[in-house]
């Protein structure tokens, strides 16, 4: 018996056209991905952003700090952003949290020149230090092996200046190395998105430490010792000043100069993915590992001039924090009488990453043995601050 099978005609041209259908940007990125980890990152699975407070929402120290003078460094306004204005004379700045931001973000960090310097000392540098990360949180990079993973940094930036700017990925363990890249601000006063990839460090492992393992440094002004660097782009090497700011952009010369940034994301792989938005509560808790304040707890008078109390931190901190008062503090008795310190003072003993015992002195008129409430001092922004920053 003969069996005949008939098949519908195939239009070869149509079939070939089907094969040429565009995959879209996401599909093309998936096809370009070199490892399963990069594909994993692209579909948004798991935690991706290594940077805390990359959307500049958390500002426990307040939303603005003015008069940031030369030869100073510190955290101002937005959490987890450290400003270095160092190396001799230079401009003064204001650092602030701003509502001006690109679509998809509510805040940004801004550094504004408030006292220009048109002739910077050779050794001067103004750096924004971002993404300060503990070494123990970087072990998954497999640095020091042939499997070392690349890192991709993405962010939004805005400035009145255009030109090239140096960004460094810097290790702060005992090896002290960095890799340099350059990005360009093309349009003044316009939010632009930048993406930069740093090669994995195959030669040197990241130490498993609770101190700083890695950070991102962006030079926004530099003297001659930090300009015209000869170090190679995209190559890991020892940290030297000659390798640093080969940029043409700086914000030191005019009080109109500013630099603004938000949407910072640092992730494994060679492809930048959409910004990972976390809840406010989660981001705040991550910031509180390094810095937190408190203004209320129960206490008792150990004398007529001092109260004592024990306090457990809101979040376990990176290390036993330093303790200080921002202004004169206040205690209250039965919601009736307030007592304010004659001058700010606080001492802590038995301090650990989870709590401490406190003594607040410089009061008068307390009744020894009575209970009081420590309530900070809202009229003068007085509170106790705990600092375990990297």
Residue 25 lies in a domain: no
Which of 227, 245, 279 represents a domain boundary (last residue)?
A: 279
What is the predicted pLDDT for the residue at 379? 76
Which of 258, 279, 300 represents a domain boundary (last residue)?
A: 279
The DSSP-derived string for 45-91 is: -S----STTTT----TT-SEEEEE-SSEEEE-SSTT-EEEEESSS--
Can you give the pTM of this predicted structure? Answer: 0.89
Q: Check which CATH number belongs to the domain holding 297 and give it.
A: 2.60.40
Same domain as 299, residue 265: no
Residue 89 lies in a domain: yes
What is the predicted pLDDT for the residue at 3? 60
What is the predicted pLDDT for the residue at 362? 98
Same domain as 366, residue 272: no
Give how many domains the chain has, as a whole number: 2
Same domain as 295, residue 251: no
Residue 294 lies in a domain: yes
Residue 2 lies in a domain: no
Residue 34 lies in a domain: no
Same domain as 337, residue 198: no
Note down pLDDT in tens along the chain; length 390 residues: 566 666 666 666 666 566 555 566 566 666 677 776 666 656 655 689 999 999 999 999 999 999 999 999 999 999 999 999 998 889 999 999 999 999 999 999 999 999 999 999 988 999 999 999 999 999 999 999 999 999 999 999 999 999 988 899 999 877 789 999 999 999 999 999 999 999 999 999 999 999 999 999 999 998 888 876 556 789 998 877 655 665 668 899 999 999 999 999 999 999 999 999 999 999 999 999 999 999 899 999 999 999 999 999 999 999 999 999 999 999 999 888 999 999 999 999 999 999 999 999 999 999 999 999 999 887 788 999 999 999
Please name which of 291, 290, 307, 311 lies closest in space to residue 299, comparing C-alpha atoms.
Answer: 307
Residue 39 phi/psi, 5° resolution? -65, -40
Residue 373, burial from CB neighbour count under 10 angstroms (0-12, 13-18, 19+): middle
> Which domain covers residue 240, as residue numbers?
64-279
Same domain as 254, residue 159: yes
Same domain as 325, residue 275: no
Same domain as 141, residue 93: yes
Q: Check which CATH number belongs to the domain holding 133 and give it.
A: 2.60.120.430
Tokens 């700010």 belong to which residue? Answer: 344
Residue 101 lies in a domain: yes
Same domain as 151, residue 82: yes
CA–CA distance, 16 with 47 (Å, rounded to integer): 39
Same domain as 200, residue 142: yes
Residue 43 lies in a domain: no
Same domain as 378, residue 298: yes
Same domain as 246, residue 130: yes
What is the predicted pLDDT for the residue at 4? 64
Same domain as 218, residue 275: yes
Residue 221 lies in a domain: yes
Please name which of 43, 21, 17 lies closest in space to residue 30, comparing C-alpha atoms.
Answer: 43
Measured in whole angstroms, the distance separating CA 181 from the mean position of its chain's CA atoms is 19
Please name which of 58, 40, 49 lies closest in space to residue 265, comparing C-alpha atoms.
Answer: 49
Residue 333 phi/psi, 5° resolution? -120, 115
């Amino acid at each position: 018996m003969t069996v005949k099978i008939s098949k519908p005609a195939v239009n070869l041209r149509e079939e070939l056209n089907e094969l040429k259908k565009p995959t879209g940007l996401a599909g093309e990125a998936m096809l370009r991905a070199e490892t399963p980890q990069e594909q994993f990152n692209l579909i948004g699975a798991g935690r991706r952003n290594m940077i805390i407070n990359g959307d500049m929402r958390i500002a426990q120290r307040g939303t603005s700090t003015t008069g940031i003078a030369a030869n100073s460094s510190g955290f101002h306004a937005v959490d987890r952003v450290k400003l270095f204005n160092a190396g001799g004379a230079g401009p003064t700045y204001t650092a602030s949290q701003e509502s001006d931001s690109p679509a998809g973000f509510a805040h940004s960090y801004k550094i504004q020149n408030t006292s220009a310097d048109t002739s910077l000392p050779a050794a001067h540098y103004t750096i924004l230090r971002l993404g300060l990360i503990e070494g123990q949180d970087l072990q998954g990079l497999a640095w020091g092996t042939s499997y070392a993973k690349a890192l991709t940094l993405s962010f939004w930036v805005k400035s009145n200046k255009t030109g090239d700017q140096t960004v460094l990925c810097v290790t702060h363990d005992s090896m002290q190395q960095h890799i340099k890249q350059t990005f360009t601000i093309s349009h003044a006063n316009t939010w632009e998105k930048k993406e930069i990839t740093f090669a994995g460090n195959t030669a040197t492992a990241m130490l498993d430490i609770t101190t700083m393992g890695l950070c991102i440094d962006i030079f926004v002004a530099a003297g001659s010792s930090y300009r015209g660097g000869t170090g190679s782009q995209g190559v890991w090497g020892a940290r030297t000043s000659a390798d640093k700011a080969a940029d043409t952009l700086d914000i030191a010369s005019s009080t109109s100069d500013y630099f603004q940034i938000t949407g910072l994301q640092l992730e494994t792989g060679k492809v930048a993915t959409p910004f990972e938005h976390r809840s406010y509560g989660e981001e705040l808790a991550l910031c509180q590992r390094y810095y937190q304040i408190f203004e209320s707890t129960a206490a008792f008078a150990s004398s007529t001039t001092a109260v004592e109390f024990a306090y457990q931190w809101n979040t376990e901190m990176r290390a036993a924090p330093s303790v200080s008062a921002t202004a004169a503090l206040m205690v209250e008795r039965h919601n009736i009488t307030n007592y304010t310190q004659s001058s700010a003072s606080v001492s802590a003993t038995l301090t650990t990453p989870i709590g401490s015992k406190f003594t607040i002195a410089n009061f008068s008129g307390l009744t020894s043995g009575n209970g009081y409430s420590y309530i900070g001092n809202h009229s003068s922004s007085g509170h106790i601050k705990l600092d375990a920053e990297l």
